[in-house]
């Protein structure tokens, strides 16, 4: 019953994060329209999903922290999935600060047409950051057969 209470609190905090995140995004969107400075809105669009992914992975990390063993990092998972998802999550920012925006107009169009891909990639990257560390219970002196 204690775990049920923790899950209820976790879901309530998640809903509050999503609600206040959407309120902040709407405020930044209006502000960008008034000031012609879209960067705060774009930065929020890139980083907020990463934060949500971190929050979604937090219970899994906390349960791993209670296990015995030493920490290891799944580098293959982190590099292969992480680099692609980080690139897509930060694509709106890269458009502003790199030559990608000037030299790849189709990429810019794709980012603005499919901003769900940016959001999903951000959540995946955030979740991946906290799910890549794992506890290894294997003894280093033992050999695999």
Q: Are the CB atoms for 61 and 10 separated by under 8 Å?
A: no
User: CB count, 10 Å around CB of 10?
Assistant: 14
Percentage of the chain exceeding pLDDT 70 = 93
- Which has more pLDDT, 96 or 25? 25
For residue 21, pLDDT over 90 is answered with yes
Percentage of the chain exceeding pLDDT 90 = 56
Residue 63 corresponds to which tokens in the numbers above? Answer: 């349960």
pLDDT band of 23, cuts 50, 70, 90 = very high
For residue 108, pLDDT over 90 is answered with no
Dist CA 51 CA 45 (whole Å): 11
Dist CA 118 CA 66 (whole Å): 33
Angle, helix 115-131 to helix 105-113, in steps of 10 degrees: 80
For residue 31, pLDDT over 60 is answered with yes
For residue 142, pLDDT over 60 is answered with no
For β-strands 133-136 and 70-73, DSSP reports them as antiparallel
Q: Are the CB atoms for 61 and 135 separated by under 8 Å?
A: no
Dihedral (Cα; 136, 139, 140, 143), 10-degree rounding: -110
């Amino acid at each position: 019953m204690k775990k049920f209470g923790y899950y209820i609190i976790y879901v309530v905090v998640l809903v509050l994060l999503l609600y206040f995140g959407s309120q902040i995004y709407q405020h930044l969107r209006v502000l960008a329209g008034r000031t012609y400075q879209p960067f705060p809105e774009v930065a929020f669009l890139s980083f907020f999903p990463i934060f949500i992914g971190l929050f979604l992975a937090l219970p899994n990390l906390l349960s791993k922290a209670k296990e015995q063993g030493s920490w290891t990092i799944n580098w293959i998972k982190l590099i292969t999935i992480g680099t692609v998802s980080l690139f897509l999550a930060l694509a709106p920012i890269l458009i502003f600060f790199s030559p990608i925006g000037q030299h790849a107009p189709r990429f810019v169009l794709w980012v603005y047409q499919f901003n769900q891909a940016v959001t999903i990639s951000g959540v995946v990257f955030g979740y991946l950051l906290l799910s890549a560390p794992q506890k290894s219970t294997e003894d280093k002196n033992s050999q695999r057969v």
